[in-house]
Copies of this chain bind each other. A is one copy, B any other.
Amino acid sequence: MISQTEENYLKALYNLTYLKGEASVNEISKRLEIKMPTVNSMMKKLSEKGLVHYESYKPLKLTEEGKKEAALIIRKHRLTEMYLVEKMGFAWDEVHQIAEQIEHIHSPEFFTKMDQLLGYPTVDPHGSPIPDHNGVMRSESYIFLDTCKTGDVVTLMAVQPSSKELLQYLSAKDLELGTTLTILSIEPFDNSITVSYGDRTSAVLSSKVTATLLVRPIS
């Protein structure tokens, strides 16, 4: 049995780990706003349960089993967000807090039904992939916008990490998933990028923003 609390730790570790493969007690502590000694004991407990590789002073990793459990929670989270947007009419910046709670519901039938009603989607409303029912995440080859060059033409695929503030900022700028961006120039001083898209012939995006936008280059 994995408690709701433990599930939140597994998910945090999974997300922190997603790009780098490992994470620290300190990072989890900051993300969950829980003090380091608490995180430390929890990591030991999850290690006892075979979900985390824990060794003193070493970076943390999920075991295969831990990875699967985490991915299945993330699957529930993203299916829920998708359902709230597609079937209930919520805006994409309103669904995260609700999904944060519903992801802990124990009912395979409930999520199977959602999946079915949604037509078995593979990405959530923020463009992040939805793991399958075995916890396997279709790994995409998206890149961050701040790694692109002048002249590149790309499609906005996902936002990571996606805070409520960021999503509202993007909405205000008419930046939606699927939007095609052309990179006009890159300012060397602060790495801000000037792009054009839709009606906008010239918009400046700070490096803080471009570091969170995952895009797919258009061949």
Tell me the A residues contacting B by CB distance below 8 Å. 84, 87-90, 94, 97-98, 101-102, 105-107, 109-110, 113-114, 117
A105 & B98 in contact (Cβ 8 Å cutoff): yes
Instruction: Provide the main secondary structure of the chain A interface.
Output: helix
A117 to chain B minimum Cβ distance, whole angstroms, is 7
A90–B84 Cα distance when bound, in Å, is: 18
Contacts of A110 in B (CB 8 A): 84, 98
20 of the cross-chain contacts (CB-CB < 8 Å) are A84-B110, A87-B87, A88-B113, A88-B114, A88-B117, A89-B113, A89-B117, A90-B109, A90-B113, A94-B109, A97-B107, A98-B105, A98-B107, A98-B109, A98-B110, A101-B105, A101-B106, A101-B107, A102-B102, A102-B105
